[in-house]
């Protein structure tokens, strides 16, 4: 990603620079951060939230699967949700959830937008 000459615009590709093999941890790139908002590209290569752990965030989160596939469990639901390319979900603040599976080859690429109150 590179800033425009005036420093305001940025460009890039969510699908460039992907790992060629599975990584030990997810790759998280912060694309933009400003008061109240953070935009991330997350690359998963088979990672999942450890069994028994739950994500409980202070922000609303919009998540879009750009490529790959994943399964997401929301604590109040009895089954995983399958997420495929193009699928998105909005997770309100404090909606306890966990990633139960991600495709590793090719990697799963997510776009996450966090909105803080």
SS (H, E, C) the chain: CEECCCCCCEECCCCCCCCCCCCCCCEEEEEEEECCEEEEEEEECCCCCCCCCCECCCCEEEEEEEECEEEEEECCCCCCEEEECCCEEEECCCCCEEEEEECCCCCEEEEEEEECC
pLDDT for the residue numbered 9? 85
Domain residue limits, the chain: 21-115
What is this structure's pTM?
0.90
pLDDT tens digit string along 20-70?
999 999 999 999 999 999 999 999 999 999 999 999 999 999 999 999 999
pLDDT for the residue numbered 5? 52
Checking if the pLDDT of 4 tops 60, the result is no
Which CATH architecture does the domain made up of 21-115 adopt?
Sandwich (2.60)
């Amino acid at each position: 990603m590179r800033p425009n000459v005036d420093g305001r615009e940025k460009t890039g590709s969510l699908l460039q620079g992907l790992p060629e093999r599975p990584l030990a941890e997810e790759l998280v790139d912060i694309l933009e951060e400003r008061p109240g908002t953070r935009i991330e590209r997350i690359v998963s290569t088979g990672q999942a939230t450890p069994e028994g752990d739950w994500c409980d965030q202070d922000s609303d989160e919009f998540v879009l699967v750009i490529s790959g596939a994943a399964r997401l469990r929301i604590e109040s639901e009895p089954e995983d949700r399958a997420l495929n390319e193009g699928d998105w979900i909005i997770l309100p603040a404090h909606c306890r959830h966990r990633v139960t599976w991600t495709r590793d080859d090719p990697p799963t690429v997510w776009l996450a937008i966090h909105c803080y109150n």
